């Protein structure tokens, strides 16, 4: 063995891995998970071979250093990272080794001696919660495992974290703060391209560490508890527990009260501990308990379910159900013993192909987004031919050139990505641009839409990366993207009006601004255009006519106001609907405040950045006579019928009306096609307007699954039936709220 060569390689790997970790925990991603795991495994193998671990090795750390801007907190119970593997057979063998070892015959008579608890390995940010006296004292990020960052100010806005619990002793709970794919897409779509995140994990990490909790409030983060770390009863708890035990011993009727669950000794059953946390009000990770002989089938069944769930998971975690046995087993210093928890990470299915082209797509903000096109490959049951490359920095870090042999994978089994370049020749330090940039990497010299000479900028947003930009303010792509955005489902929902169609109509002089979509009946020439016909023209006319009936949030989302999307429009709507004069129009209340220069950041969930963006939009669109846009908005506003615009009358004595009473506080999941509403989003809006919640996946928190095909064998129907959740049709829902 060449010791010096091995040591130099270890130094190189440590430097690259630590740089990637530092970037990741500051909201940037300079290396894919696939590449990080590969280098990490290579370093681990070298450390085993040489018997030496160098300073700063990432194999000896549980996480990242705490964020500087937030207060630090030293964990009372160190939050170690779990040992992991991608080898299923090895994974199962490790558990079987302990379960069936003759050295542990003394535990074989206990209830769960051969059982394992299986849970999702959620892909978010680990948070540790500290309770005392029935109240949350601190919420702390894992940080480096020993010191984390205090996020107490954001904890009240993370779903699944109770602020108070029915237990007055000391309690430490560990779990994962994560963001669903649905919420990720909503937030990301509202951010400028240079500030968008690559995945829900990065956005969740950045969100829980926000200094301004007002911004936190407009983003939905879920907490999934996965471990009861420590529990210390208070004297009052112990006395109450003794009283309950005494009543049980006396066989008094009603002794099996909830108190006997809350204040009893939890014992050494891992599942019982998690169930107790659920009783306390925590959102607990989905879990099941199986014998080690059933483990292989269970792991395979859960892996098949990944595409059906709405939140990111990058594997599974198993722990020995018998805590008494696992408690005394020694760890490694940076990992607990595998019987206390071991991660099975997905063995990403990869496919080799050839990179044929990099297409640069112009966006509404002027940035050019690179997309890789390659020979078709089959992954996770689908054919994949393209994947986003994020930005110029990503291309440089992977040294991606046309004709290269690359590896493609679906990250978290969902998102196609170029994860490795087998033809890589250079390492890029991430600071200076190479001199042969445009020749080597197919970076466009001019905008593919308007022909203006492109510019390369270093962004100051979340990505902190090099990007390619079109500086032309009159670039047709910006106009086309804005008009296409206006037609999208979450906006005016003009069915069939794709971006390609919008581009054709702009080129033909049919569409100039938003109002022209509602004048398509004046353009019979559409029926003569290539690719269309009489029926197509009539469909566009009908779709636009139907779109005139819109919601407040749909209309203002459609206008493309910077930093304001459908979620923020809903916040504005809810505020004015609740605080305005009954019988008046929500939109007029809102527009009057904007014209008067009111500081809208006073409204909960609307921060100063959004307030500034709304007033900047108003300066161009509402100040009569200043710009042509004023006339456009005035005409558009007169054309549409905002269906939820009238502020509702208050019911007598503050009582809820029948519809609100039926829906308020309940969680609905919608699947399948709808017929009474324009689309599922309109149904979701109806639910939310009545105080309910529309979730993306079925869980124990779901009250109703809405599916017009109640006999369907879909995954959501099966899950609902397993959990005894009622499956209702659209008509059932309308009857529930008194509209049928």
Of 112 and 408, more confident: 408
The more confidently predicted of residues 118 and 259 is 118
CATH class of 350-469: mainly beta
Report the distance separating Cα 409 and Cα 386, nearest Å: 11
Please report how many Cα atoms fall inside a 13 Å half-sphere around the Cα of residue 150, on the Cβ side: 11
Q: What is the residue-averaged pLDDT of the chain? A: 81
Q: What angle separates helix 181-190 from helix 566-579, to the nearest 10 degrees? A: 90
pLDDT(543) > 90: yes
Spatial distance between the Cα atoms of 606 and 575, rounded to a whole number of angstroms? 11
DSSP 168: -
Check: CATH 3.10.129.10 for 478-642?
Answer: no
pLDDT at residue 406 greater than cutoff 90: yes
- Whether 516 has a pLDDT exceeding 70, the answer reads yes
Q: pLDDT of 631-669, one tens digit each? A: 788 899 999 999 888 887 655 444 445 666 778 778 898
Domains 3-60 and 655-736 alike in fold? no
The structure's pTM equals: 0.53
Cα angle, residue 405 at apex, residues 399 and 410 outer, rounded to 5°: 90
Q: What is the pLDDT of residue 613?
A: 86
Lowest mean pLDDT among 61-65, 94-98, 130-134, 662-666: 61-65
> What pLDDT is stored for residue 185 in this prediction?
82
Q: What is the largest CA-CA distance in the chain?
A: 89
pLDDT in tens, 241-285: 555 444 444 443 333 333 333 333 556 788 888 989 988 889 999
Residue with the bigger pLDDT between 63 and 33: it is 33
Q: What is the pLDDT of residue 25?
A: 52
User: For the chain, what percent of residues have pLDDT higher than 70?
Assistant: 83
At the topology level, CATH places domain 655-736 in: Rossmann fold (3.40.50)
Average pLDDT rounded to a whole number, residues 701-729? 85
> Residue 695: its pLDDT value, please?
78
Do the Cβ atoms of 551 and 682 come closer than 8 Å?
yes
Q: Rounded to the nearest 5 degrees, what angle is found at the Cα of 47, between the Cα atoms of 45 and 52?
A: 165
What average pLDDT does range 123-152 have in this prediction?
Answer: 91
Which H/E stretch holds residue 716?
Answer: helix 715-722
Q: How many whole angstroms separate alpha carbon 104 and alpha carbon 593? A: 72
Per-residue confidence band for 689, with pLDDT thresholds at 50, 70 and 90: confident
- Count H helices and E strands in the chain, helices first: 25, 25
Residue 128 pLDDT > 90, yes or no?
yes
> Following CA atoms 29, 35, 40, 42 in sequence, which dihedral angle do they give, to the nearest 10 degrees?
-160
pLDDT for the residue numbered 538: 93
Residues noted as catalytic: 121
Instruction: Provide the strand spans (E) within 189-301.
Output: 221-232, 287-291
Ramachandran region, residue 403 (left: φ > 0; alpha: ψ -120 to 50; beta: rest): left
How far apart CA 731 and CA 165 sit, in angstroms, is 39
DSSP 385-441: EEEE--SHHHHHHHT--TT-EEEEEEETTTEEEEEEETT------SSSPPTTHHHHH
Task: Give the start-to-end residue ranges of the domains of the chain.
Answer: 3-60, 74-345, 350-469, 478-642, 655-736
Q: Does CATH number 3.40.50.150 belong to domain 3-60?
A: no
**Contact assessment for residue 198 and residue 177, using Cβ atoms and an 8 Å cutoff:** no
Q: What's the pLDDT tens digit per position in 282-333?
A: 999 999 998 888 999 999 899 888 877 888 898 899 998 877 767 666 665 5
DSSP bridge pairs for 368: 362, 468
- Write out the two tokens for 547: 């779109």
pLDDT bin (cut points 50, 70, 90) of residue 598 is very high
Measured CA to CA in angstroms, residue 406 lies from 20, 409, 570, 726 at distances of 21, 10, 43, 47
Nearest to 704 by CA among 684, 676, 682, 675: 684
Which residues face 232 on adjacent strands?
A: 170
pLDDT given for residue 23 in this prediction? 64
d(CA 701, CA 112): 27
The string of pLDDT tens digits covering residues 181-232 is 888 888 877 776 666 787 888 899 889 988 877 778 778 899 999 999 988 8
What average pLDDT does range 523-551 have in this prediction? 91
Closest CA to 32 of 208, 200, 199, 203: 199
Whether 508 shows a pLDDT value over 50: the answer reads yes
Q: Where are the alpha helices (DSSP H) in 493-565?
A: 499-507, 534-547, 552-558
Query: Which residue, chain included where needed, has tokens 């079109």?
Result: 470
Question: 407-444 as b/e, with b when 16 or more CB fall inside 10 Å?
Answer: bbbbbbbeebbbbbbeeeeeeeeeeeeeeebeebbbbb
Helix (H, G, I), strand (E, B) or coil at 577: helix
- The pLDDT assigned to 343 comes to 85
Report the range of poorest mean pLDDT among 126-140, 255-269, 484-498.
Answer: 255-269
Judged against a pLDDT cut of 70, whether residue 134 lies above it is answered with yes
If one compares 664 and 364, the residue with the highest pLDDT of the two is 664
Question: Architecture of 74-345 per CATH?
Answer: 2-Layer Sandwich (3.30)
């Amino acid at each position: 063995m060449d010791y010096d060569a091995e040591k130099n390689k270890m130094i190189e790997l440590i430097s690259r891995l630590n740089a990637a970790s530092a970037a990741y925990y500051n909201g940037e991603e300079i290396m894919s998970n696939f590449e990080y795991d590969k280098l990490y495994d290579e370093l681990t193998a070298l450390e085993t071979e040489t018997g030496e671990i160098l300073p700063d090795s990432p194999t000896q750390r549980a996480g990242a250093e705490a964020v500087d801007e937030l207060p630090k907190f030293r964990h009372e119970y160190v939050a170690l990272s779990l040992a992991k593997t991608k080898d299923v057979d090895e994974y199962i063998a490790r558990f079987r080794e302990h379960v069936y070892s003759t050295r542990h015959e003394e535990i074989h008579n206990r209830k769960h001696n051969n059982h394992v608890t299986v849970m999702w390995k959620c892909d978010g940010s680990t948070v540790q919660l500290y309770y005392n006296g029935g109240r949350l004292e601190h919420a702390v990020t894992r940080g480096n495992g020993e010191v984390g960052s205090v996020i107490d100010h954001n904890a009240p806005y993370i779903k699944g974290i109770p602020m108070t619990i029915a237990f007055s002793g000391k309690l430490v709970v560990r779990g994962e703060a994560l963001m669903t794919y649905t919420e990720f897409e909503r937030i990301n779509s509202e951010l400028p391209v240079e500030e968008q995140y690559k995945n829900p994990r990065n956005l969740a990490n950045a969100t829980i560490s926000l200094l301004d909790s007002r911004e936190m409030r407009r983003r939905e983060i879920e907490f999934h508890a996965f471990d009861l770390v420590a529990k210390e009863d208070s004297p009052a708890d112990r006395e109450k527990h003794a009283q309950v035990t005494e009543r049980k011993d006396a066989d008094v009727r009603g002794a099996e009260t909830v108190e006997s669950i809350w204040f009893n000794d939890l014992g050494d059953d891992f599942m019982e501990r998690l169930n107790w946390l659920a009783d306390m009000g925590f959102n607990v990770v989905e879990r099941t308990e199986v014998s080690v002989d059933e483990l292989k089938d269970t792991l395979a069944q859960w892996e098949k379910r990944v595409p059906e769930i709405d939140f990111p998971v990058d594997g599974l975690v198993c722990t020995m159900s018998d805590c008494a046995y696992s408690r005394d087993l020694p760890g490694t210093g940076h990992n607990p013993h595998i019987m206390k928890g071991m991660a099975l990470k997905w063995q990403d299915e990869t496919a080799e192909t050839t990179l044929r082209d990099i297409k640069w797509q112009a966006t509404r903000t002027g940035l050019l987004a690179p997309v890789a096109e390659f020979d078709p490959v089959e992954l996770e049951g689908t054919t994949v031919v393209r994947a986003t490359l994020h930005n110029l920095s990503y291309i440089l870090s992977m040294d991606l050139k046309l004709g290269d042999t690359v590896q493609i994978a679906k990250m978290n089994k969902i998102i196609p990505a170029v994860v490795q370049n087998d033809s890589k020749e250079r390492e890029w330090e991430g600071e200076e641009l190479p001199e042969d940039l445009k020749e080597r990497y197919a970076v466009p010299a001019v905008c593919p839409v308007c022909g203006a000479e492109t510019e390369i900028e270093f962004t100051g947003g979340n990505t902190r990366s090099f990007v390619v930009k079109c500086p032309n303010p009159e670039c047709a792509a910006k106009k086309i993207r804005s008009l296409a955005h206006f037609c999208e489902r979450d906006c005016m929902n003009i069915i069939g009006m794709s971006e390609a169609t919008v581009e054709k109509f702009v080129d033909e002089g049919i569409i100039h601004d938003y109002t022209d979509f509602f004048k398509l009946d004046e353009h019979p020439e559409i029926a003569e255009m290539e690719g269309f016909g009489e029926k197509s023209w009539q469909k566009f006319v009908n779709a636009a006519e139907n779109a005139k009936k819109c919601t407040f949030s749909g209309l203002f989302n459609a206008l493309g106001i910077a930093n304001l999307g459908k979620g923020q429009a809903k916040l504005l709507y809810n505020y004015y609907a609740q605080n305005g004069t009954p019988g008046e129009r929500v939109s007029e209340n809102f527009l009057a405040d904007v014209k008067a220069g009111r500081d809208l950041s006073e409204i909960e969930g609307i921060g100063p950045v959004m307030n500034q963006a709304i007033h900047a939009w108003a300066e161009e669109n509402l100040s009569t006579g200043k710009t042509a846009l004023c006339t456009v908005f005035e005409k558009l506003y007169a054309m549409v019928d905002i269906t939820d615009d009238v502020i509702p009358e208050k019911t007598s004595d503050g009582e809820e009306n029948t519809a609100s009473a039926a829906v308020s506080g309940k969680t609905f999941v919608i699947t399948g096609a709808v017929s009474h509403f324009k689309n599922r989003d309109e149904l979701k809006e109806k639910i939310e307007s009545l105080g309910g919640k529309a979730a993306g996946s079925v869980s124990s928190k779901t009250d109703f699954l809405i599916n017009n095909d109640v006999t369907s064998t879909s995954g959501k129907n099966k899950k609902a039936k397993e959990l005894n959740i009622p499956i209702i049709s659209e008509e059932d829902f309308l009857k529930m709220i008194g509209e049928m």
